[in-house]
Amino acid sequence: MQADNRALQQKVVRAAENEPLRAHDNGPPSSSVGAAVDPLGAPFPVADDRDVAEHGRRLTSSPTYVAVDAQQIHELPSGHTCSNTGFSESNPYLVRLDSSGPSLSAAPTVASSDVSFASVDAKDYTVSEIQRMAAPFKVIHASDCATAPTLEIPLNTNFAGTLSVGGKEVQAGPKVTVGYVASADQPNNDWAWTAPTPRAWVTFTELTKTVNLAAESSLLIWYSLSWLATGGHDWKMMESQLLIDGVVQPSASTVNGVTHNREVAGNNQGLWMGTLAAGSHTFTVQISAEAGGTYISRYATAGEERILSVLVL
């Protein structure tokens, strides 16, 4: 009985192909038996018992993949001047181009890599081009077709959500965070520090920053600390180092100063570049100087600064 029903449906489709397309029809008549075809060759649905199986077919069991028809939504802004977008007596299509322009042919004689967003009249199939563009997707094959092709997306592309490549989130640009924190008890953000006895590394609390990475990321970390030594030991030098999660990074260590019994100005800077795993990471600057030395950092003074910058690339 199913075979009889299917044969009857084929006759109905053949009869419909010989009639003009009405306004409520799905699209141009078919060039093949059994299913109408849209301008890009995708079959229009034919109401028979194969619809569910063909338009939502399970391909594998673990994981489960389901084949579904693709859909494009074209957004036209308010107040646009794009012509032929009323679609009162026509249907919108993305159609191929040949040497003569937009074509409803499934295989143009002289095909183009561009396509046309167009309206197709539902009665006489007149094509009215709205906008010509590069095909949204282009599959590029190797010369011998021995390797898997690559997919190219020619149009400028905006991602409303996040984009991950190989499990790593792709960002539009560096995310910059600055770890400077002013202390309320330091007028003009000045800072004064007397080196401890015995000499030891001391964490600079203003230059400490914790960030949480959603995925493995490349980072660039830079710090800068300006200072003025006013008294104490003849060795007026300051050392600094950067720690990541408590581990010293030798490439970002520095020493600055001179050996003379007078005031000395200096600037310590450090730079680190590398990759860190997903999760929380803390970046800390530490300083050390000869015991008893007094060091001042006047943030409000021109040319002096205290900065810790963390750039997630």
Task: Annotate 186-244 with DSSP letters as a single string.
Answer: SGGG-EEEE--SS---EEEEEEEEEEEESS-EEEEEEEEEEEEEEES-SEEEEEEEEEE
> In terms of domains, do 137 and 187 share one?
no
Same domain, 189 and 301: yes
Contact assessment for residue 287 and residue 252, using Cβ atoms and an 8 Å cutoff: no
Instruction: Indicate whether 132 and 189 sit together in one domain.
Output: no
Residue 261 exposed, middle or buried by CB count within 10 Å (0-12, 13-18, 19+): exposed
Give me the pLDDT at residue 271, please.
86
300 and 183 in a common domain: yes
CA distance 298 to 267: 12
271/165 Cα distance (integer angstroms) = 27
Coil, strand or helix at 8: helix
Does residue 276 fall inside a structural domain?
Answer: yes
* Residue 141: domain span: 90-155
pLDDT at 33: 35
The residues facing 97 across adjacent strands are 102
In a domain, 44, yes or no: no
pLDDT at 213: 83
What does the pLDDT read at residue 149? 95
Residue 28, pLDDT score: 45
My answer on whether 145 and 251 are in the same domain is no
Alpha helices (runs of H) in 112-161, residue ranges in sequence order? none
User: In terms of pTM, does the model score above 0.85?
Assistant: no
Instruction: Give residue 152's Cα distance to chain centre.
Output: 16
In CATH, what number is assigned to the domain containing residue 230?
2.60.120.760
- Residue 244, C-beta contacts closer than 8 angstroms, at least 6 positions apart: 221, 272, 276, 281, 282, 283
What pLDDT sits at residue 47?
38
Q: Are 241 and 223 in contact (CB under 8 A)?
A: no
What's the CA gap between 154 and 131, in Å, rounded?
16
Q: Domain check: are 114 and 227 in the same one?
A: no
Residue at 286: amino acid letter: Q
Could you list the pLDDT tens digit for every one of the 313 residues in the chain? Answer: 555 555 555 554 444 444 443 433 444 443 333 333 444 444 444 334 444 444 455 566 677 777 787 788 999 999 999 988 888 888 898 999 988 889 888 888 888 889 999 999 988 888 999 999 999 999 999 999 999 999 999 999 988 888 888 887 776 666 666 555 444 334 445 667 888 888 889 888 778 888 888 778 888 888 888 777 776 666 677 888 899 999 998 878 877 776 555 656 677 888 888 888 988 999 988 888 777 777 776 544 444 557 788 887 7
The total of structural domains in the chain comes to: 2
**Does any domain span residue 251?**
yes
Residues 145, 203, single domain; the answer is no
Residue 66 counted as domain residue: no
Q: How far apart are CA 18 and CA 36, in angstroms?
A: 12
- The reply to whether 230 and 270 lie within a common domain is yes
